[in-house]
Each structure stands twice: as C-alpha cells, then as structure tokens.
Amino acid sequence: MTTELILTLNAGSSSIKFALYEAHEPMRVGLRGQIESIGGAASLQLNAIGAPKQVRPVDVTDHAAALSEILKVVGSASGGARVIAVGHRITHGGPDFSGPQVLDSASLDRLRRFIPWAPLHQPYNLEAVDGAARVFPGAIQVGCFDTGYHRGHPWVSDAYALPRRYYDAGLRRYGFHGLSYQSVVAQLTDIDPNLANGRIVIAHLGNGASMCAVKGGRSITSTMGFTALDGLAMGTRCGVIDPGVLLYLLQEEGLTADALSRMLYRESGLLGLSGLSSDMRELEASQSGPAREAIDYFVHRIRVELGALTATLGGLDCLAFCGGIGENSAEVRSQVCRDLDWLGIALDDAANRESQMRIGLGRTPVFVIRTDEEGVIAHAAMSLLTR
C-alpha cells in the first residue's frame, strides 16, 4: 500500500460500511468491509483485495462500539500508512449542503440540526465524523450528502403544497440515495454515454429504497421527500401514506409522536406487512400469505412510481436496478418488469436469473448496476485533497 490512504465511512441504521483507498490516481481500494446487525447478532465482514472474504461475529451493542471496532481494523490494515482523509456519507444536507465539503465544527453544528430530519442515519453519520476525527486527527473529514444530487431538481419536485412559510423554513422534498444514483449514472456513462445522457429511471432497492428520474445526468425528481420515509415501502419504513392516516392515529388512536415515529420508521414496510421479516431473502423463501403480499405491495409501489417518473421524464430510455434487492433479487426485478411492453421493456429471463449487467431484450435497455457509494465518496475526498 502507499503511505497515504483515504477511508470512507457509511453509517446506516444498523450497519456501518467502510473502505480504504490508496490516495493517488488511479485510486484503488485495498480493503472493504462492514459491520452488520449492530445491536443484534452483529458480524464483521472483511474483503481485503487478494485475500479470502472473512466474516466473524463481533460483540458490539451500539454504533459507537461498531465504529471503534472498524477504526481498530483500519488501523491495523493500514500498516505504517497514514489516513489523510476520511469521507463520510451524510444522509441529510438540508437546503444548504449540496456538493462534498470539508467538515468543520461550524458545519457539523449546522448538520446536527437535521438529526430529526433523518433520525435513523444522521446521528450515526455525525458520530462517525467525531470518532474518525479523534482517531485520525491529521486527516480532513469530508462530508458527501445523500440529498446533494437532488438539490438542482425543479421547484415542483422540491415543494409540498403547504403554506409557503414551511418551504422557506426548509420543509422541502430533498430526496436521498444521491451517492448511489451518482455511482449508477457514472457507471452507465462508462457503458454508453449517449444512453446515460437520456431519460433514466434508477430503482435503488435495499433496506432503504427509492427511485429517481434522471435526465441529462441530473436528478429531475425522486420518490423520497423531506425524510427518507416517503415513496416506496422499505424494510421497516412505510413509504407513501395518506397524511389523514397519521392524523387519525394521533387524534383517535391516541398514539404519541414517539410511538408513531417508531411505527413508521421501524415497524412498517416489509416487516409490518409480512409480520415476519424486513429481509427480502427471508420473504422470498417463505410460503406465508402475508410474506407474499408484502412482496406484492413492494413491487406494486415500484411499478406505480415507474409510471409516474416516466411521465415526468416524458419517456424512458433506460431502467436500472441497484441496491441489495435491485442487484440480487431476480424475482423482484421480474415482477417489476412484467407486462411493460408498452414501455419497451422485456426481460431476458436467463440474464435476469444470473443478475447480469444487461437484462433487457426490448427497445428500452434494463441494467443491473452494482452501486458503489464508497467509490463516489472516496473520489470526492480525493478531489478536495488535490484542489
């Protein structure tokens, strides 16, 4: 390894992903890994280039313990090399933060204001910045915002039809998964620049799930809004809901705001509908009726949004799937794409079963793209270092 490294940290609700890159062009990743199921049966996965993948249980009960375990692993993997930048996925940048930037105490104070806007992610993102700054005091800390990619979208995609003062106070449709969408668009550009410049719908389907309409390489609209609750049903989040339901639960059922928040973020979506699991692999393996219905609902919402995003784009030149479900579930992709001849979409069943990169047979190409948020973060950190 070189003597200078860039570390990326991507802290989610129950996992922290990380990667270690050589800090020179062409940037190469030396180590990737993650701690999953923090607070439960946590495990550390390590993928060092040229070595077999390792998975081992780790005794971490919270994010702080997981972060300190990761920073220990990174410390020993880096040998004598110096970490000169740590790039962080920051979920919510609010109205002010769009492009990547070096974080200082003033920007961190501003970003803390958005913790209630992304309660499953933002606190852990900011804890990771503090933890990394303590362990690598000589490194710059770079924030890359999941909302950033969408900040240029049109006003109609930015607003809610509430009294105007709320828009001015920051209640807007931000959209998330921007680092993933950037990664997919960059990969599509390498594959076919003309296509990547056209009208694309990207479905990022993981524990968190959203879709984005991209035109000329830019986000036009996305299914998530002010928070990462809106749009598609997710592992444990409800997705789109009639606001009247929320009023009813508060006013008639007497739910407290905390109980409602817990239900919408942690007890709904695939888990709530199936009563079984938030994990698509378990639902696909189950014979239970509610598990089937949960998958059907998940797919139905994707198809509804595909229609809406296609209308917003004025047509569709390409559909791309990414995220843990989008990259791996042939069943979900096949259900989403059924009877879409009117959109020029037909799947090559064999290619779909093998999760190949190109899975379409019709006039509208369909791709499975392995998203690389870490790569986007590392390149952003590198460009700030060399600026």
Neighbours of 102 (CB within 10 A): 14
Residue whose entry in the numeric block shows the structure tokens 């004025």: 314
Which of these ranges, 24-32, 90-98, 203-211, 377-385, lies near ligand ADP under the rule CB under 6 A? 203-211
DSSP state of 5: E
For position 210 contacting ligand ADP by CB under 6 A, the verdict is no
What x-and-dash track marks residues 293-332 binding ligand ADP by CB under 6 A?
A: ------------------------------xxx--xx---
Comparing CB distances to ligand ADP, the nearer of 283 and 343 is 283
For position 280 contacting ligand ADP by CB under 6 A, the verdict is yes
Q: Which residue is nearest to ligand ADP (CB)?
A: 324
Residue among 178, 208, 239, 365 that touches ligand ADP (CB under 6 A): 208
Which of these ranges, 79-87, 122-130, 201-209, 243-251, lies near ligand ADP under the rule CB under 6 A? 201-209
- DSSP three-state, residue 73: helix
Closest CA to 93 of 145, 133, 132, 42: 145
Q: Cβ neighbours of residue 126 under 8 Å, at least 6 residues apart? A: 90, 108, 111, 112, 115
Residue among 192, 267, 279, 348 that touches ligand ADP (CB under 6 A): 279
What x-and-dash track marks residues 4-43 binding ligand ADP by CB under 6 A?
A: --------x--x----------------------------
Asked whether the beta carbons of 42 and 35 are under 8 A apart, the reply is yes
146 is catalytic: yes
Q: Annotated catalytic residue: which of 146, 158, 230, 372?
A: 146
Neighbours of 346 (CB within 10 A): 18
Residue whose entry in the numeric block shows the structure tokens 């959203």: 210
For position 206 contacting ligand ADP by CB under 6 A, the verdict is yes
Least separation in angstroms between CB 332 and ligand ADP: 7
What are the contacts of 223-226 at 24+ separation with CB within 8 A? 223/175, 223/305, 223/309, 224/173, 224/174, 224/175, 224/176, 224/177, 225/160, 225/172, 225/173, 225/174, 225/175, 226/117, 226/160, 226/171, 226/172, 226/173, 226/174
Active-site positions? 146
Residues that bind ligand ADP (CB under 6 A): 12, 15, 206-208, 235, 279-281, 284, 323-325, 328-329
